[in-house]
Structure 1
């Protein structure tokens, strides 16, 4: 028993250590588990701290690459030049942005909301960088659900546009975030949104919502509809791909996404969205997209003469009438579209101005989008017979009258023997008839009588500034000039003899309304004696009565002017005027290729009449200065001849070797000229110049 007892006592101690060992092992395993968890937690904390330190260092480094915060400032927006028509409507914008700065208060509420809905729906909640928005964008882009959104906030996009390049790097994104935080600290949400709307790029050279509204819809931003606002809001994601004038289906699909987002956020009522979806926006031809750009180019050419350097938006008031500009563009393009191919004429230009030089319409070519070269102001072409009024004026100033007679017969100057267009010669004719029928031999004789230098000086006195060659052929318009010069020079005939300088700008104002320039009346002074001007108007009036411009006559109006056709039908001109408007038309080809018998008396005269009929519609006819005194009487020219003061022999008589014929001797050829007018013009009409 003792043995058992002892044996039992000996075994008891052996069991206890076994239990203790098990607990120790469990405790050891717990410690090891806790040790690993602790190590993971510890490592995570350490890594996190190092990550924060590294991120802080990275941010500090990239922040150091930026200007000091206290020196940061929003860069000035490049100034816009708004070019206005005479009625205050917008003709075109010029400058790097394409439109003026607008206040967010000017805009309909749904326009800025369209950008918030599609680009940054948490714009009013975040502090410049939106982690929630970034995660949402990642999730939506991965699952392809809902409206696709970018991770950048509007504030970040503005920071990029204002301060950074367009490169896509981690470095730029960090700087973008830093600058976004600064913008949020510096400006209110509405100020940030206004800056964004005025700086973001919309494609087609349009920076800012105003420029985009004008470019795509032909209206100011404050007038866009909900559908148009949605299209503009969707456009900024990819301006080149989504521009409505390039890819309308894509632009409308994107606009539908914007409208859905606006409805979801409560930015637009469901019924309004329904209407906008049923009537999606479409681009229109903005007024600045056509011929008005030729006017804008002219304005920019002369603007430096009126104002110095400027760093804010300005408005330029012009003399151009948008109704006349549109009419001129349509008439010219319609004529060329209908008859250009048949007559092999590809280009044209038109200038219309008041007799004081104020340009009312200016078309520099058939299609500005195809060619920006301004044929009205820059192209120099031979004017042909439209130059003859300067020759006749020189002769009048040396003693001739409309009823002075000259011989229409072959003439030779050295080896040059100019001929009439018809290759016919009518013998003794009055200057009135010779100019009306554009007889070359008479013009050349007059040019020789007064001298080529006198002809050149006469043209220059009236405003021709291009170099002119003082030779025998100057009488037939062989020196090159611009259409604008010619129309300006004819203005002196229309206004009674005062030389004019064509102008298009009347005033320039700053964004705040300060007047930077205002035109004062100026010109060249009197350049034609009133009596001489009356005689010239009487002779050029005959062009419409019985001459080469008869096709262009407008009933009820006294008109005067001259046609012109250059050698081999290269250029065709028609310049004419009423007492209130002077208009010139040129047709030809840029490369000098010959047309198929286009003369001043056919296509240009047709364009001139179509335009002037619209331009003068509803106006009270204005008499031409001095015309009534020298007008040819329908019943007889004898009364005119007898009423006219006898022309002195003067220089003309000395050159011819005999004095001017007295009035009784003039009456017979004058009557003959009158009798032959009808038959003569029948042969020339439509093909003469």
Structure 2
């Protein structure tokens, strides 16, 4: 029974298996078809939902996209065109736009070149090119994991959407938005309008947006005159503007233009003979009007716009004081005369403060640090300008006799660069040969705070100490501030505030700023300015600044700091004031660097060209003293001395602290002892003959060209004048000359 049941059970199972296999063959495929149909329906549903979503997104985008006329007026960022004093545009910053060209004004070769190389199917797709997308997808799969970007998918319309509305970031989100915007643009505008927008807004490098700006930038003429060769060069820039720029890499630009011509032939826009006839290598590139060194000037000038105007979006035309001819001369002088491994700065200021040239270093590309306006350096003996002006204002005259001798002030003993002491000399001679001991005496006499106040009055804004060594230029200053101080002297004591911007307008000519005329402030009386000009002229005519002579009247002063770390020359002629500094950025010593050498030579090389077209202007050194200096104050108050000596208002005799009579009238005085070491003094007569203050003797012949010989004369020391209170303290570094 058990066996029969097992057999019956196995028979059932077997028949059921057979029957299932026989009836199940159509059941399996039907289940697969069911799932396939379901997936298809789901796909259609998702596609429909996606299409609706895209349609909604595109519709919204269409509503938000500005009109064609509004898009024409919306530049991407602020453009600033910088004009030189003669109106020439020498620098464009920000996006550079040329004239808007309609499609009918744009040469057909330019249109064809752009379409051929950027989007051959532009006239046939709806803004997105399925063929291009497929090619990009295959590329992405083949190069998955290599980090290479997807290529070849963007149409002209997509590029336009990206240029106007999006950034250049490579993300899927940005790409999706780009596609939606491309579809919206195609929906809203015609193909001709899209191409016109693209040609006028695409970036071609060099700050130029649009074919007209690119044509003017690279070829010097409007895009309406563009040839096939030029069109091939410009069309090739879109792929990589910096890599294929003809001004940056001519070989790369020519190679790329050849690819553009081949593509145009392949697309049927031109024939092979036309392509062969095009000669991109013969294209004439526009000459650069800008200068490397002029960027120092614009880097200093343009930040001042924030204080002059409120406009932050409109295109601007900024008119400046820069003279391109003077700037070229300044650059050439700095590059020719600056010693190897040394940096330099030059600032040139007109009589009203207009900056005509500025060089902040030997090469802007190598270093854009502006040493003319930012660097703080010791001026050395150029600082004596303020010492001597303070002395003149206090009552000294340029012909006053002073004695070069050892001196110690609060424990500080200055030394002369020659290492010797020359004895008696005039103030003029002491300044011309930059005698340190005389400067120290004058500073001690008038007060170091008076010298500091004089420097402040003339525009020195950096910290100034009142230690005795400050008279030799231990305080750090800026080149532009020192130059402005000398410019005020050239202006007969009236301030000359440096400025760069004369006018600012919008691109359509609307005036935003006009610099008013400024008369300046009187800093010192004219007789003080005349006196210091006398001294400055002597320093160039016979003293340490002889290398700065240019064949017309020049007044100036050298400056050299300890160990030759800094060399200066500052001076003026024919209404133009120029300051030159040289040294290392790390303030290390430079062998042979002295103010009277390379800096003075650079000054002369520049000024010969800068003032060549200006009339020769003699200096007004006629010192018209005020009444209080026309007679001795004590004598005027006490009356004329008689045989009995000076008397007061009541006729009573007065004892003076020293015998004021001439030596030959003094009784009982022993003759002065002969000098112990034959201390030399400079030949004052020769100096006055050289500067025209004394005619040469009839039998002297031509004036000697060599440095005058020294002679020895005994000289009594001048009466001591009580010095004002000073602030004692430690000493700074001691410059030499």
TM range (shorter): 0.7 to 0.9
- Equivalent residue, structure 1, for 2:4: none
- Equivalent residue, structure 2, for 1:420: 416
- Equivalent residue, structure 2, for 1:274: 277
- Equivalent residue, structure 2, for 1:294: 296
Task: Indicate which of 429, 436, 440 corresponds to 2:425.
Answer: 429
- Equivalent residue, structure 1, for 2:157: 155
In structure 2, distance between residues paired with 1:276 and 1:468 = 65
Task: Indicate which of 506, 528, 533 corresponds to 2:529.
Answer: 533
- Equivalent residue, structure 1, for 2:586: 591
- 1:21-60 to 2 correspondences below 5 Å: 54-60=46-52
1:459 is aligned to 2:452: no
Deviation at 1:165, TM superposition (A): 4.3
In structure 2, distance between residues paired with 1:659 and 1:204 = 80
Q: Is the 8 A contact 2:135 2:152 kept in 1?
A: no
1:616 is aligned to 2:611: yes
Task: Indicate which of 319, 322, 334 corresponds to 1:320.
Answer: 322
Q: Deviations over 1:63-118 (max 9, x none)?
A: 777865423456762112222211222232334x4x34642269873556543342
Deviation at 1:647, TM superposition (A): 6.8
Partner SS for 1:242 = coil
Q: Is the 8 A contact 2:100 2:212 kept in 1?
A: no
In structure 2, distance between residues paired with 1:321 and 1:163 = 40
Structure number having the greater helix percentage: 1
- 1:634-673 to 2 correspondences below 5 Å: 648=632, 670-671=684-685
Q: Is the 8 A contact 2:561 2:736 kept in 1?
A: no
In structure 2, distance between residues paired with 1:560 and 1:464 = 20
Task: Indicate which of 335, 353, 370 corresponds to 2:337.
Answer: 335
In structure 2, distance between residues paired with 1:659 and 1:528 = 34
Q: Is the 8 A contact 1:401 1:647 kept in 2?
A: no
Deviation at 1:682, TM superposition (A): 8.4
- Equivalent residue, structure 2, for 1:389: 385
In structure 2, distance between residues paired with 1:445 and 1:594 = 28
In structure 2, distance between residues paired with 1:307 and 1:558 = 41
Assess, with a 3 A threshold, how the Cα gap between structure 1 residues 305 and 521 changes in structure 2: closer, same or farther.
same
Assess, with a 3 A threshold, how the Cα gap between structure 1 residues 129 and 595 changes in structure 2: closer, same or farther.
same
Q: Is the 8 A contact 1:565 1:573 kept in 2?
A: yes
1:604 is aligned to 2:568: no
In structure 2, distance between residues paired with 1:159 and 1:211 = 20
Partner SS for 2:568 = strand
Q: Is the 8 A contact 2:389 2:528 kept in 1?
A: yes
Partner SS for 2:578 = strand
Task: Indicate which of 237, 248, 260 corresponds to 1:258.
Answer: 260
- Equivalent residue, structure 2, for 1:543: 539
- Equivalent residue, structure 2, for 1:93: 92
Q: Deviations over 1:519-553 (max 9, x none)?
A: 01226411122222122111111122111111111
In structure 2, distance between residues paired with 1:502 and 1:83 = 18
Assess, with a 3 A threshold, how the Cα gap between structure 1 residues 314 and 72 changes in structure 2: closer, same or farther.
same
Assess, with a 3 A threshold, how the Cα gap between structure 1 residues 620 and 679 changes in structure 2: closer, same or farther.
closer
Q: Deviations over 1:133-174 (max 9, x none)?
A: 778999999xxxxxxx94422221111233334455665444
Task: Indicate which of 164, 167, 173 corresponds to 2:166.
Answer: 164
- 1:411-560 to 2 correspondences below 5 Å: 411-522=407-518, 524-555=520-551, 557-560=552-555
Partner SS for 1:349 = strand
Assess, with a 3 A threshold, how the Cα gap between structure 1 residues 171 and 451 changes in structure 2: closer, same or farther.
closer
Query: Which deviates further from its counterpart, 613-622 or 501-510?
Result: 613-622
Deviation at 1:413, TM superposition (A): 1.2
TM-score (norm 1): 0.77
In structure 2, distance between residues paired with 1:462 and 1:452 = 16
RMSD of aligned Cα (Å): 4.4
Assess, with a 3 A threshold, how the Cα gap between structure 1 residues 314 and 287 changes in structure 2: closer, same or farther.
same
In structure 2, distance between residues paired with 1:351 and 1:102 = 36
Partner SS for 2:390 = helix
In structure 1, distance between residues paired with 2:661 and 2:517 = 44
Q: Is the 8 A contact 1:430 1:673 kept in 2?
A: no
Q: Deviations over 1:48-73 (max 9, x none)?
A: 99767644533554677786542345
Deviation at 1:509, TM superposition (A): 1.1
Deviation at 1:415, TM superposition (A): 2.2
In structure 2, distance between residues paired with 1:434 and 1:649 = 25
- 1:332-371 to 2 correspondences below 5 Å: 332-336=334-338, 339-340=339-340, 345-371=341-367
TM-score (norm 2): 0.72
In structure 1, distance between residues paired with 2:287 and 2:708 = 44
* Structure 1 runs not aligned, ≥5 long: 1-35, 142-148, 631-639, 651-655
Q: Is the 8 A contact 1:318 1:505 kept in 2?
A: yes
Q: Is the 8 A contact 2:97 2:212 kept in 1?
A: yes
- Equivalent residue, structure 2, for 1:238: 240
In structure 2, distance between residues paired with 1:253 and 1:659 = 94
Deviation at 1:485, TM superposition (A): 0.5
Q: Deviations over 1:601-628 (max 9, x none)?
A: 000011111111111123321233x23x
Deviation at 1:319, TM superposition (A): 0.3
Q: Is the 8 A contact 1:348 1:364 kept in 2?
A: yes
Deviation at 1:327, TM superposition (A): 1.7
Aligned residues: 611
- Equivalent residue, structure 1, for 2:146: none
Q: Deviations over 1:238-283 (max 9, x none)?
A: 345434455442221101222444577657996797353341566x
Deviation at 1:434, TM superposition (A): 1.3
In structure 2, distance between residues paired with 1:465 and 1:516 = 30
Partner SS for 1:487 = helix
Deviation at 1:476, TM superposition (A): 1.1
Assess, with a 3 A threshold, how the Cα gap between structure 1 residues 62 and 281 changes in structure 2: closer, same or farther.
farther
In structure 1, distance between residues paired with 2:120 and 2:364 = 41
- Equivalent residue, structure 2, for 1:70: 63
Assess, with a 3 A threshold, how the Cα gap between structure 1 residues 81 and 60 changes in structure 2: closer, same or farther.
farther
